[in-house]
A and B are shown apart, each in its own frame.
Chain A
């Protein structure tokens, strides 16, 4: 169990984060660049001292700013950190890299057999006698992961380690880390600024912006029901269509959470002329200028605004990007349904859905 509750003053904002990660659990800290994600990892690893707070790992107090003060140095924390740069020791062979910590740490240190086993499991068994300079990027990352495994660290921190690698390599390495976390039952924290990377890794996701955790929950839940408009923006909602029935309130539209056609039972139906259309992934991304909200489903409207979707009113020409499997037919208005859109009040908070209010 890794528990962190830290505060740190930065030039632009105060970083303040509190979370706990259970053994074997995978938490993603997701947020834009400069939100303070890396700083949190560095505080946990002991590379930075927080202004206030505590870091506790498996009952060991690593950082405590309140008396009795405690700041365990990085080399006594048993916390592994993977960054984008694998930072292998260039003067040592792969085997020596893997065995680096085995010699420093007493206890379940990795012997020669253990090193060989780890290398085999990570698919680098044939490379143990090579120098790091001869490795490809993916191989170097495998060695860096193996080096942490052999060190027997009690927590795994990942600072966007696989950003910039190609997609299939990223997938393989992410799967490998997931396996490792499951096998070793260590708490793990991934920092990511790409939603996909966070989703591919985590059981739970914390959305961080300007040093604050805005929402913490399973990735699917965070994306389907962002707690605030800012969270919605960060997880990919790109258009906010006004709901005239409730002035100032908007419905968030995620480009992936739409289906073509009129399906009022599933969400809010929008329509408008297609302003642009280009290929995106396996499908198309079209931008629709919605002229009106035609109807809204019961789920899309809140209990406070029972009649919001009933009428038809001008939406004032909002440009809504949507991703579709097939390109919309040219000419005339395109009609589509936004699946259960979250609605946000003028202050950015989300309007609770009917079923949330009921329970």
Chain B
């Protein structure tokens, strides 16, 4: 997983001229346009089908924004968990300092490749009330089904591989020779990590975190099975759709986009700028 920086503005003009210069260039430009418009299509559709009136009435219903709070809170906790547990794993994967690195990577990939619905089903059998883990949680008066905790667990499962793989790529892009110099210049590893590795990996880490945030915000498959309550926004969209139909569900789709998108977009532009500065 890597996110290339966009080319600086001053070369955009010559890039255009170069592309239009040949038939294959025109064809590839047309193809690029089609896929770009198609990808943006849903967002454009959403905006054209929404009226201001629709939004205000839907959101004016008492408690309509409660799921937003639930989503943001569970998402924030999910990010904290990923940062705390996922970052060291990503670092070790990137530096190949774990025994049997392929096995570790396969484990991360597994949760990426499993359909979220399946993850939800399996989580029930793993942390449900009648399992050893569930009983353990019961002793401290916690439950991992249909609770806030369950929601966080489901979101972590759905977003963790995106963060770990993205962070691994970010760490792998840091030249070990630079870390070696930091050590020879007197920095013990923790200090070198703080002064060199983390700042250099930061744009990539931010990008990975942003993608994980978007996944956590939109998590549905595992959530619908293990954490039907409390509602986050995706479940709110789902239930509204079932109970009152498409038009009333659309405003909540906008809410989800507004919450899920800005962080990833900001992270993207920031990391692209940081990379560009380092190359300039």
Contact = CB atoms under 8 A, between A and B. Distances in A.
Interface in B162-214: 175, 177-178, 180-189, 191-192, 195-196, 199-200
Closest 7 A/B residue pairs (Cβ): A104-B186, A101-B185, A87-B177, A74-B183, A87-B181, A90-B278, A87-B178
B186 A151 contact: yes
A104 B187 contact: yes
B17 interface: no
A76 B183 CA distance: 9
A91 B188 contact: no
A83 B185 contact: no
B186 A47 contact: no
B199 A75 contact: no
Interface string A62-91: 000000000001111111110101011111
B180 A47 contact: yes
Contacts of A90: 178, 200, 278
B277 interface: yes
Given A47-B180, A101-B185, A104-B186, A87 B200 contact: no
A78 B279 CA distance: 31
30 contacts: A73-B183, A74-B180, A74-B183, A75-B187, A75-B192, A76-B186, A77-B184, A79-B184, A80-B184, A81-B184, A85-B175, A87-B177, A87-B181, A90-B200, A91-B199, A91-B200, A100-B195, A101-B185, A101-B186, A104-B185, A104-B186, A104-B187, A104-B191, A131-B277, A133-B277, A133-B278, A133-B279, A133-B280, A147-B185, A151-B186
A91 B180 contact: no
B186 A75 contact: yes
A134 B278 contact: no
Interface of B: 175, 177-178, 180-189, 191-192, 195-196, 199-200, 277-280
A45 interface: yes
B280 A75 contact: no
Nearest to B276: A133
Interface in A118-154: 131, 133-134, 147-148, 151
Given A104-B191, A131-B280, A133-B280, A87 B186 contact: no
Most buried by A among B186, B195, B278: B186
Contacts of B182: 89, 100
Contacts of B177: 83, 85, 87
Contacts of B180: 47, 74, 81, 87
A184 interface: no
Interface residues of A, number: 28
A79 B183 CA distance: 10
A327 to B, nearest CB: 46
Contacts of A105: 186
Given A87-B180, A147-B185, 6 more contacts: A77-B184, A89-B178, A89-B196, A104-B187, A131-B280, A148-B185
A79 to B, nearest CB: 7
A45 B185 contact: no
Nearest to B196: A89
A78 B175 CA distance: 22
Contacts of B183: 73-75
A348 B102 CA distance: 49
Nearest to A80: B184
A276 B186 CA distance: 56
Most buried by B among A47, A91, A100, A105: A91
A147 B280 CA distance: 22
A133 B191 CA distance: 24
Contacts of A104: 185-187, 191
B8 to A, nearest CB: 13
Contacts of B279: 133
Contacts of A148: 185
B70 to A, nearest CB: 38
Contacts of B178: 87-90
Contacts of A87: 175, 177-178, 180-181
Contacts of A83: 177
Contact of B185 (A91, A134, A151): A151
Contacts of A80: 184-185
B240 to A, nearest CB: 46
Nearest to A134: B280
Nearest to B199: A91
B184 A75 contact: yes
B45 to A, nearest CB: 41
B280 A73 contact: no
B199 A45 contact: no
B170 to A, nearest CB: 13
Contacts of A76: 186
A47 B199 CA distance: 23
B278 A131 contact: yes
Interface string A33-60: 0000000000001010000000000000
A270 B72 CA distance: 90
Nearest to A100: B185
A287 B4 CA distance: 54
B278 A91 contact: yes
A293 to B, nearest CB: 52
B188 to A, nearest CB: 5
Interface in A194-229: none
A101 B189 CA distance: 14
A235 to B, nearest CB: 31
Contact of A73 (B181, B188, B278): B188
Nearest to B185: A101
Nearest to A152: B186
A187 to B, nearest CB: 16
A75 B192 CA distance: 10
Interface string A102-118: 00110000000000000
A80 B183 CA distance: 10
